[in-house]
Structure 1
């Protein structure tokens, strides 16, 4: 019987995903370094070597998922029609928030903003800045649709973008509750 003397390669993306699942369930303070080490299948010293600290791992998880949510907006505004763009924001968000195969329901950034967080990243400001940028991206797409005749001239792009953001936040909150 041949035994491979080399350990399996460390998969950072998978480790961040596993850590995010713990942070979702237990919050930042409720997730111990020991639990993280067990979930990631590495020693405490390896966890520190890979991520620096529990706080830095949490921050990386928040950034990773926040950027995934922003990517939904990037794909949406690239749609040829405004109806397709608005649909893609909402459907893409539902798909992202309900990735139960990844072991989490909901939106990590909403959880992180509402719960306790690390002191290494101002999560509330980071998430708010990204959400403002996403809303602005959508507003510009709506402005383009108005200019091109895809929406009525009387459409207020800021109001419509704000409405979509409000729906997005509602989807996020409902997903956190398991919907």
Structure 2
């Protein structure tokens, strides 16, 4: 008779767990997503969920931070580009790619999710997203101001207005993506917006 062996419990894919949990939170909000619903959807026991994330709140916070921080990374990469037209292009194009990630690797837009109005006591998703949006805007503004200081743009450039224009385009692309617009269509729009902005940039060398 073969004696059953005691093996380790199967390891779970943390990234997949966070993605599947985010889908539930995005759809139902924090309080509308029960621990029972999470464990059923994730294939975890309650003890395993708590061991990995501390609590349902801990899982929610990690999900919000994981997917929201991807937008910060877009701006962080973009402002490192050598010239301002490329900075604007990267912000617009990379944003479209993030907004239209396939559902098997992305839970959807946090901005339009129920989680924005139903969060934990320790992490207000709406306030967190607003802080993130503000950081992105300040980062882009600083890069445009640097372009003015470096002589890439004329001294009279309204850096705040230019920042607002780019951010307005990004927000519009996000809304269209949330309404189901196709990635290729959004890329056409983003490229057109980039070309129009590039042509209007008050270049000091023109």
Where on the TM-score scale, by shorter chain, does this alignment land: which range? 0.7 to 0.9
Counterpart in 1 of 2:148? Answer: 146
Aligned-partner Cα distance in 2 for 1:94–1:135: 17
Counterpart in 1 of 2:80? Answer: 78
- Which protein is bigger by CA-based radius of gyration? 2
Q: CA deviation at 1:164?
A: 1.8
Counterpart in 2 of 1:7? Answer: 9
Aligned-partner Cα distance in 2 for 1:106–1:83: 29
Alignment of 1:129-168 (within 5 A): 129-168=131-170
Counterpart in 2 of 1:27? Answer: 29
Q: CA deviation at 1:85?
A: 0.6
Instruction: Report the structure, 1 or 2, having the larger helix content.
Output: 1
Aligned-partner Cα distance in 2 for 1:105–1:11: 16
Q: CA deviation at 1:16?
A: 1.0
Q: CA deviation at 1:118?
A: 2.1
Q: CA deviation at 1:108?
A: 1.6
- TM-score normalized by the length of structure 1: 0.85
Kindly tell me the number of residue pairs found equivalent between the two proteins.
177
Alignment of 1:45-124 (within 5 A): 45-102=47-104, 104=106, 106-111=108-113, 114-124=116-126
**Secondary structure of the structure 2 residue equivalent to 1:35:** helix
Aligned-partner Cα distance in 2 for 1:83–1:56: 40
Worse-matched range after superposition: 102-111 or 160-169 = 102-111
Q: CA deviation at 1:56?
A: 2.1
Q: Deviations over 1:110-136 (max 9, x none)?
A: 536643222221222222222111111
Root mean square deviation of aligned Cα? 2.3
> Are the structure 2 counterparts of residues 61 and 37 from structure 1 closer, same or farther at C-alpha, using a change threshold of 3 Å?
same
Worse-matched range after superposition: 84-93 or 42-51 = 42-51
Aligned-partner Cα distance in 2 for 1:66–1:99: 13
Q: CA deviation at 1:101?
A: 4.3
Q: Which runs of 5+ in 1 are unaligned?
A: none
Aligned-partner Cα distance in 2 for 1:115–1:122: 8
Q: CA deviation at 1:10?
A: 2.5
Aligned-partner Cα distance in 1 for 2:145–2:41: 46
